Amino acid sequence: MDYTSLSAEDQEHILKTIGLPSLEELIDRILPERFQLDRALDLPEGISEQELLKEFKELAGANLPAGEGLCLMGGGVYDHYIPAAISHIMSRSEFYTAYTPYQAEVSQGTLQTIYEFQTMICNLMGMDTASASHYDGATALAEAVLIAVRKKKKKAVVIPAGLNPSYQEVLETYCRPVGIEIRTLGSDDGKIEIDEVVRLADGASAVVIQHPNFYGLLEPIREAAQAAHNAGALVISSTYPVSLALLEPPGEWGADIATAEGQPFGAPMSLGGPYVGLFAVKKPLIRMMPGRLVGRTNDVKGQDGYVLTLQTREQHIRREKATSNICTNQALVALGALVYLSLVGKKGLIRVAENSYRSTHYLAKKLVEIPDVNLHFEGDFFNEFVIDLPKPAVEIQEALASEGIFIGPPLGRWDKNLKNSLLVAVTEKPTRADLDGFVEVFRKVIL
């Protein structure tokens, strides 16, 4: 990162220009005294750039990348195989920028890739229109809720017990300040109970359905969607996108808005980001969509051309009339998702989903053969499941990490009643030998 200095002469010139005698006077004008620190910062002595780089490398060396061990971590982010061609294509000079250009129509190549991305997401989700992408799956879900509230004009939304807790936190950040009530469905078995949907959906703008849910369980989607629609609420889907290669897409089982975290499509885990939020709607909600939308048209010569369309975003109109304050998109990560889907194709994505499903069930069967290890929930699951352990899950997680095995998260982080429960996820990457080796290590750690 470049370092830009401010010399004493530069500072004096700036102060003279704004008519103030000192930097302290400038700070006093801007920051109330009660917020000012009345002591020097407690910092070590300065060191050279070379010494600093050495220290940073030592700190970075304390991290062990997931790719250097066996990664069975889940909860919304997954260790899928990323084809080498993705980084090569994304590194081409045509795609250096991750930002949608402001003079958009000049950059036909960028707009075309976004348009193709939107088309693929529509096909995958069974929806009519997709946006150019969002920051991540959590913000995509939150924006979907805001659409429902604007459409139905009811300040309440229903969420399932099996919603990703991190998504719920983001949703609360969006909803609480503007007075949107969040109603949480009760559940004894980790899945949606239809009677609860009927009871809580009355007077709500939307019912959120995560399928597969945070625990990996498959929800009764059609029944829940029908109950929501009967109550006059929209249905919002949040999904693990790889599962759509095998499971019925949201647009076919009743979702009005479909969202997902696109990280499994070619993006590394990367300590939590950057990721890409997938977002698609049925036709009646197109004009309420947040974010950017690219359309295809013809120019005066009859040639294909790509444009930003339906731009009711706060960049283009008065903020209070905007559909959303999200005015950008994750174009570079979306490009990676487009490249991934293009490379693996329909048949390849089905193989990824099938291998993940089969390996997950194989591992679950092996683990429950260990004494005092049990599945927490009954019912079918997709690529992750919850196991109950004879000791705190955090201890097991740390012991496995010392063996180069990454697993979790421990569910006691969100529910103290699940402090001995662990979420386990399997993608297409681990081989049968990898999983058998894990079971042996796990057995030793448990016993």
pLDDT in tens, 188-230: 899 999 999 999 999 999 999 999 999 999 999 999 999 999 9
Residues 213 and 360 placed together within one structural domain of the fold: no
Classify residue 189: in a domain, yes or no. Answer: yes
Question: Which DSSP state fits 68?
Answer: G
Taking residues 318-330, what's their average pLDDT? 69
Q: Of 339, 357, 373, which residue constitutes the final position of a domain? A: 339
> Per-residue pLDDT for 326 more than 80?
no
pLDDT-derived band of residue 306, with 50, 70 and 90 as boundaries? confident
Q: CATH number for the domain including 163?
A: 3.40.640.10
* Mean pLDDT across the chain: 91
Would you state the pLDDT for residue 290? Answer: 84
Number of domains in the chain: 2
**CA–CA gap between residue 121 and residue 236 (Å, rounded):** 16
> Per-residue pLDDT for 141 more than 70?
yes
Which pTM does this prediction carry?
Answer: 0.86
Helix residue ranges per DSSP H, 160-220: 165-175, 194-201
Residues 406 and 258 placed together within one structural domain of the fold: no
Classify residue 10: in a domain, yes or no. Answer: no
Domain, as residue range, for 149: 85-339
> Per-residue pLDDT for 319 more than 80?
no
Residues 205 and 148 placed together within one structural domain of the fold: yes
pLDDT in tens, 224-250: 999 999 999 999 999 999 999 999 999
> Per-residue pLDDT for 297 more than 50?
yes
Residues 376 and 398 placed together within one structural domain of the fold: yes
Higher per-residue confidence, 69 vs 329: 69
Nearest to 332, CA basis, from 139, 77, 90: 90
Would you state the pLDDT for residue 313? Answer: 56
Which residue type is seen at 411?
Answer: L
pLDDT-derived band of residue 100, with 50, 70 and 90 as boundaries? low
Nearest to 295, CA basis, from 128, 73, 49: 128
pLDDT in tens, 391-405: 999 999 999 999 999
Classify residue 222: in a domain, yes or no. Answer: yes
Residues 94 and 75 placed together within one structural domain of the fold: no
Would you state the pLDDT for residue 425? Answer: 97
Angle at 81 between CA 75 and CA 87, to 5 degrees: 115
Taking residues 343-364, what's their average pLDDT? 97
Q: What distance lies between CA 114 and its chain's CA centroid?
A: 19
Residues 205 and 189 placed together within one structural domain of the fold: yes
Q: Of 314, 339, 364, which residue constitutes the final position of a domain? A: 339
Residues sharing a CB contact under 8 Å with residue 23, sequence separation 6 or more, in sequence order: 11, 15
Would you state the pLDDT for residue 38? Answer: 85
Beta strands in 185-323 (DSSP E): 206-210, 234-239, 257-261, 277-281, 294-298, 304-308
Would you state the pLDDT for residue 103? Answer: 62
Classify residue 274: in a domain, yes or no. Answer: yes
Would you state the pLDDT for residue 1? Answer: 44
Q: CATH number for the domain including 375?
A: 3.90.1150.10
Would you state the pLDDT for residue 98? Answer: 45
Burial class (CB in 10 A: 0-12, 13-18, 19+), 334: buried
